[in-house]
Amino acid sequence: MALLKIKNITYRVPEKEIFSNLSLVVEKEEVHAILGKNGTGKSTLAYLIMGCEGYVPDSGKILFEGKVINGLKLHERAQLGITLAWQEPVRFEGISVRDFLILKNKEADPSPYLEMVGLLPELYLGRIMDKTLSGGERKRIELASIVALQPKFAILDEPDSGIDMLSIQDILNVIATLKKNGASVLLITHREEIAKIADRASQICNGKIVCTGAPDNVAEYYKTRKCEICSSEECVYV
């Protein structure tokens, strides 16, 4: 059963069409990977679904649990159970890791969420989410906070960026836990080893989904760039 349906969305910025009648379905409790080269609009798709300021489709519909959410603001979509982990998590002055992990549930114990992403609670809970934490540390903390939220639908925008190779398993644990908790995950990534955890994958090229299927098949398609839109073995858009 579909949790999120994107129906023929078109989205333009001045002098460029980012999406042209793009459609996508993410099922309940499905991990759906989105593959695509830099600049193909993967993060833009995330912002359109989340409802970030300035990201409104020119046409088409976004449906969540069967209801059109185009008109809802970001926080209203979040209250429906949609959330987003950013490719580059932002810094916060004066907000501790503990407070960030339990923003809406002050009574919760944040420690297990930190442990899940390979960070020791005794070393991190009291730290501040500012420039004293590396990008990789903030990334892990943000992923931990997404698990703590218990969303219905989590968009993870390149959760592996800034994370060292040895810690990829931590990211896979986060995705597996979200799914185990009943969430669907839209997983934006460049790495095949991450995409492999997905139930299905789709490739974006030239503003459209050009291929959807088993992650291995889509990854192979991605590597060889046999893009129907380009009608060429070597994609002219990459």
Q: If DSSP codes are grouped into helix, strand and coil, which group holds residue 228?
A: coil
Nearest to 48 by CA among 16, 13, 14: 13
Could you tell me which stretch among 11-19, 50-58, 175-183, 224-232 binds another protein (CB under 8 A)?
A: 50-58
CA distance 73 to 1: 25
Cross-strand pairs, 96: 128
Give, in degrees to the nearest 5, the angle at Cα 102 between 98 and 104: 150
Question: Which residue from 2, 25, 52, 176 is in contact with another protein, where contact means CB under 8 A?
Answer: 52
Nearest to 72 by CA among 87, 89, 58, 55: 55
Cβ at position 211, least distance to another protein in Å: 29
- Give start and end residues of each alpha helix (H) in 72-202: 74-80, 97-101, 111-116, 121-124, 135-149, 168-180, 192-195
> Residue 52 gets which letter from DSSP?
-
Question: Which residue from 63, 78, 108, 229 is in contact with another protein, where contact means CB under 8 A?
Answer: 78
Tokens of 32: 């759906």
| By the rule CB under 8 A, 16 interacts with another protein | no
CA distance 9 to 238: 22
| By the rule CB under 8 A, 75 interacts with another protein | yes
Nearer to another protein, 89 or 159 (CB): 89
Cβ at position 223, least distance to another protein in Å: 32
CA distance 92 to 109: 21
Question: For helices 135-149 and 168-180, what crossing angle results, to 10°?
Answer: 10
- Binding residues among 80-139 for another protein as defined by CB under 8 A: 82-84, 86, 89-90, 92-95, 103-104
Nearer to another protein, 9 or 50 (CB): 50
Cβ at position 72, least distance to another protein in Å: 12
Could you tell me which stretch among 10-18, 24-32, 70-78, 213-221 binds another protein (CB under 8 A)?
A: 70-78
Instruction: Give the per-residue contact string, 145-184, with another protein (x = CB under 8 A; - = no).
Output: x---x-----------------------------------
Could you tell me which stretch among 49-57, 112-120, 176-184, 226-234 binds another protein (CB under 8 A)?
A: 49-57
CA distance 94 to 13: 36
| By the rule CB under 8 A, 187 interacts with another protein | no
Nearer to another protein, 89 or 207 (CB): 89
Binding stretches for another protein (CB under 8 A): 50, 52-53, 74-75, 78-79, 82-84, 86, 89-90, 92-95, 103-104, 142, 145, 149
